[in-house]
């Protein structure tokens, strides 16, 4: 099976039908999206197509990128551009195999193909019989299509695996950030091409650009002898490989074993003439080290230790919670927070400035830069065990470089108010629930999750207004008092609604008088805080109102304020 010359990817068309076609079908204006049976496969397949475009069509510079955006290739033209790389995309056979070890690995014990799935329970989990939710052996056989995607997904996301089992180039459980147009009816080409970088932006420091070739072992590691890392000094550094290798990283040593028996795939459910049930795997594959920064992944650095290597942002319990983490995904801040957005995002903002300043046809790209979204997805991994998969979309707001600090300050102000209010909400719920709230233990993260989810649309609306104001490039940009007021009211409304929903967990008639008194007192205190009453408890809200230039609603009666205090 060749991944460039056979129809193995399911594409969704504008009319709703799903058809398996060649990768070059991405250039068909009738193709809207991919339709994979698993969320991680969907994210990996998008990255696979982006990697193909980056390999076969890397534009010389940003001008060339913009020109190609206006004139997409035909399916036939893209087929011709991909053809020279076909030899590097054979999934089986006697020669080099796609993302597999050049050695047949006959000296190792065979393992289940399910070990290619990132969310399969790890060895330790199985040994301790802790695979309660994701069971072992739920996948016995995969069709060749799903096997190819499982292999690619594992190689680009490889988690920690124990001694000698290498982690991926981006570290285990990396987040991926992609640019999407606001218009969801755009053809797939128009949704993929914004994630391709020009040659003058794709290389990392120390790398030298050269045209990619199928037999380049510095680009496709599986086309050459294995880079074994059984000793120190065998690490793979950015300057040792092709600038596009990050898209085709290969930390694990695998060989797929193909059966000639037909059967049904345990992932997609389709009947296949050949299945993969077993694989061979060996330790000490490519050991990535050094200042790697994958173009599609955000990173962080320690501002206090600028000499340390940056580390990729990972999925965390609760997911990449929308607006709490928006700034770190979008705005570079090495001095205070150490935020390093994906190089793709940074360059996208560079393109925006270039178009606005230098292109006569800049208006043709208006939607590309002013009406776009950021798609963030990835696993939440704890060592080799997957705790969850997260996927979220949020606005991608581009502003002139001179105004980025202002945008960061505005976003920080809005987020900090939300964080302080949700903390107050948690504390008051403890007051309502427990006689001794300071001694109460337990996870209350679900309160935060509900609060941020309920208020994110209002935040995104405010974020778009921030972008509109800052794109005008006035000397003293100002965000309207009404925008501040609407944000405050949304937070206040949701905090009270959540308190009312959570404080009373049973029927009122069954409650003791002491419980009702605790609930009433806690709500009164929360109300006073949210109204900005009192010099002490209302300071947070008062400060936000003063900075935002709006008046708070009338205070509570003095006796209620004194009771709350």
Q: Which of 191-200, 389-398, 483-492, 512-521 has the lowest mean pLDDT?
A: 512-521
Q: How does residue 283 score in pLDDT terms, banded at 50, 70 and 90?
A: very high
Measured CA distances, 503 to 29, 321, 497 (Å): 53, 24, 10
CA dist., res. 299 & res. 329, Å (int) = 9
Averaged pLDDT for residues 443-447: 83
The answer, yes or no, to whether residue 178 has pLDDT greater than 80, is yes
Output Rg (C-alpha) for the chain, integer angstroms: 27
The answer, yes or no, to whether residue 506 has pLDDT greater than 60, is no
pLDDT in tens, 326-359: 888 888 887 778 889 999 999 988 777 677 666 6
The answer, yes or no, to whether residue 389 has pLDDT greater than 80, is yes
What ranges make up the beta strands (E) of 368-471? Answer: 372-382, 385-396
pTM reported for the whole predicted model: 0.90
Query: What was the pLDDT predicted at 514?
Result: 76
Residue recorded with tokens 């509570």: 556
Residue recorded with tokens 């009373």: 504
Share of the chain above pLDDT 70, in %: 90
**Nearest of 296, 487, 308, 467 to residue 374 by alpha carbon:** 296
CA dist., res. 216 & res. 213, Å (int) = 5
Query: What was the pLDDT predicted at 358?
Result: 61
The answer, yes or no, to whether residue 208 has pLDDT greater than 70, is yes
Cβ atoms 498, 447 nearer than 8 A: yes
Q: How does residue 563 score in pLDDT terms, banded at 50, 70 and 90?
A: very low
Query: What was the pLDDT predicted at 518?
Result: 87
Query: What was the pLDDT predicted at 273?
Result: 93
Averaged pLDDT for residues 74-82: 98
**Nearest of 339, 449, 452, 309 to residue 388 by alpha carbon:** 449
Quick one: 327 exposed, middle or buried, by C-beta within 10 A (0-12, 13-18, 19+)? Answer: buried
The 10 Å Cβ neighbour count of residue 340 is 22
Averaged pLDDT for residues 167-177: 92
Q: How does residue 112 score in pLDDT terms, banded at 50, 70 and 90?
A: very high
Q: Partners of 20 in the beta sheet? A: 10
SS3 call for 475: coil
**Nearest of 69, 45, 14 to residue 377 by alpha carbon:** 45
Q: Which residue has the higher pLDDT, 399 or 226?
A: 226
Query: What was the pLDDT predicted at 472?
Result: 82
Q: Partners of 33 in the beta sheet? A: 12
The answer, yes or no, to whether residue 370 has pLDDT greater than 80, is no
Contacts 24+ apart (CB under 8 A), 5-8: 5/86, 8/144, 8/145, 8/148
Averaged pLDDT for residues 173-187: 92
**Nearest of 282, 198, 286 to residue 237 by alpha carbon:** 286
Tokens of 525: 């205190």
Q: Are strands 311-312 and 339-340 parallel, antiparallel or unpaired?
A: unpaired
**Most confident stretch, 49-53, 317-321, 500-504:** 49-53
Q: How does residue 376 score in pLDDT terms, banded at 50, 70 and 90?
A: very high
Averaged pLDDT for residues 292-314: 91
The answer, yes or no, to whether residue 146 has pLDDT greater than 90, is yes
Contacts 24+ apart (CB under 8 A), 234-237: 234/287, 235/287, 235/288, 235/289, 235/290, 236/286, 236/287, 236/288, 236/289, 236/290, 237/206, 237/289, 237/290
Quick one: 536 exposed, middle or buried, by C-beta within 10 A (0-12, 13-18, 19+)? Answer: exposed
Tokens of 278: 């077993």
| Mean pLDDT computed over every residue of the chain | 88
Q: How does residue 503 score in pLDDT terms, banded at 50, 70 and 90?
A: confident
Tokens of 41: 């496969």
Query: What was the pLDDT predicted at 438?
Result: 79
Share of the chain above pLDDT 90, in %: 64
Averaged pLDDT for residues 416-434: 92
Cβ atoms 54, 193 nearer than 8 A: no
The answer, yes or no, to whether residue 538 has pLDDT greater than 50, is yes
Q: Are strands 311-312 and 275-282 parallel, antiparallel or unpaired?
A: unpaired
Query: What was the pLDDT predicted at 258?
Result: 95
Q: Which residue has the higher pLDDT, 440 or 237?
A: 237
The answer, yes or no, to whether residue 362 has pLDDT greater than 80, is no
137 Ramachandran zone, left/alpha/beta (phi>0; psi -120 to 50): left
Q: Which of 2-11, 281-290, 313-322, 553-562 has the lowest mean pLDDT?
A: 553-562
pLDDT in tens, 247-272: 999 999 999 999 988 999 999 999 99
Tokens of 473: 């490039």
Tokens of 102: 């050049």
Tokens of 402: 């001179």
Which strands, in side-by-side order, build the sheet including 339-340?
A: 311-312, 299-300, 339-340
Query: What was the pLDDT predicted at 129?
Result: 43
**Nearest of 244, 261, 336, 306 to residue 47 by alpha carbon:** 244
Q: Return the domain boundaries, the chain.
A: 9-292, 417-564
Averaged pLDDT for residues 555-561: 41
Q: Which of 50-59, 231-240, 530-539, 552-561 has the lowest mean pLDDT?
A: 552-561
């Amino acid at each position: 099976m060749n991944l460039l010359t056979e129809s193995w990817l399911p594409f969704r068309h504008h009319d709703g039908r799903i058809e398996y076609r060649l990768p070059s079908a991405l250039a068909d204006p009738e193709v809207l999206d991919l339709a994979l049976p698993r969320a991680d496969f969907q994210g990996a397949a998008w990255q696979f197509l982006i990697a193909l475009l980056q390999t076969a069509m890397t534009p010389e510079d940003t001008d060339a990128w913009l020109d190609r955006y206006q004139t997409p290739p035909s399916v036939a033209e893209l087929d011709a551009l991909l053809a020279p790389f076909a030899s590097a995309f054979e999934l089986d056979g006697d020669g080099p195999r796609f993302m597999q070890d050049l050695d047949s690995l006959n000296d190792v014990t065979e393992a289940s193909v399910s070990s290619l799935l990132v969310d399969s329970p790890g060895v330790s989990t199985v040994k301790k019989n802790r695979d309660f939710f994701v069971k072992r052996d739920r996948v016995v056989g995969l069709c060749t299509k799903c096997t190819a995607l499982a292999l690619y997904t594992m190689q680009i996301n490889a988690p920690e695996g124990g001694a000698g089992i290498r982690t991926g180039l981006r570290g285990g459980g990396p987040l991926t950030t992609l640019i999407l147009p606001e218009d969801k009816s755009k053809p797939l080409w128009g949704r993929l091409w914004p994630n391709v970088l020009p040659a003058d932006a794709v290389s990392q420091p120390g790398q030298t650009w050269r045209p990619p070739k199928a037999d380049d072992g510095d680009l496709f590691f599986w086309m050459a002898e294995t880079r074994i890392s059984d000793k120190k000094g065998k690490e793979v550094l950015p300057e040792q490989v092709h600038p596009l290798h990050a898209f085709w990283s290969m930390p694990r040593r695998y060989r797929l074993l193909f059966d000639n028996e037909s059967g049904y795939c345990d992932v997609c459910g389709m009947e296949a003439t050949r299945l993969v049930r077993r694989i061979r795997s060996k330790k000490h594959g490519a050991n990535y080290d050094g200042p790697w920064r994958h173009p599609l992944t955000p990173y962080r650095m320690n501002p206090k230790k600028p000499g340390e290597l940056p580390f990729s942002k990972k999925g965390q319990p609760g997911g990449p919670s929308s607006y709490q983490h928006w700034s770190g995904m979008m705005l570079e801040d090495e001095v205070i927070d150490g935020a390093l957005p994906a190089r793709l995002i940074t360059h996208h903002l560079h393109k925006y400035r270039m178009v606005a300043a230098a292109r006569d046809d800049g208006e043709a790209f208006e939607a590309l830069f002013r009406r776009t979204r950021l798609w963030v997805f990835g696993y939440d991994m704890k060592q080799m065990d997957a705790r969850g998969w997260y996927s979220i979309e949020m606005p991608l707001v581009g502003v002139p470089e001179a105004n980025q600090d202002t945008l960061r300050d505005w976003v920080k102000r809005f987020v900090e108010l939300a964080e302080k209010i949700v903390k107050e909400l948690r504390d008051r719920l403890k007051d309502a629930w427990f006689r001794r709230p300071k001694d109460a233990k337990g996870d209350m993260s679900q309160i935060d999750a509900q609060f941020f989810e309920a208020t994110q649309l209002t935040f995104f609306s405010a974020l778009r207004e921030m972008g509109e104001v800052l794109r005008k490039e006035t000397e003293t940009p100002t965000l309207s008092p009404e925008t501040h007021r609407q944000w405050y009211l949304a937070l206040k409304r949701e905090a009270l609604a959540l308190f009312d929903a959570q404080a009373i967990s049973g029927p009122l008639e069954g409650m003791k008088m002491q419980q009702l008194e605790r609930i009433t007192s806690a709500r009164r205190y929360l109300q006073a805080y949210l109204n900005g009453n009192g010099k002490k408890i209302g300071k947070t809200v008062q400060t936000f109102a003063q900075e935002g230039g709006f008046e708070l609603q009338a205070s509570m009666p003095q006796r209620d304020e004194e009771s709350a205090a």
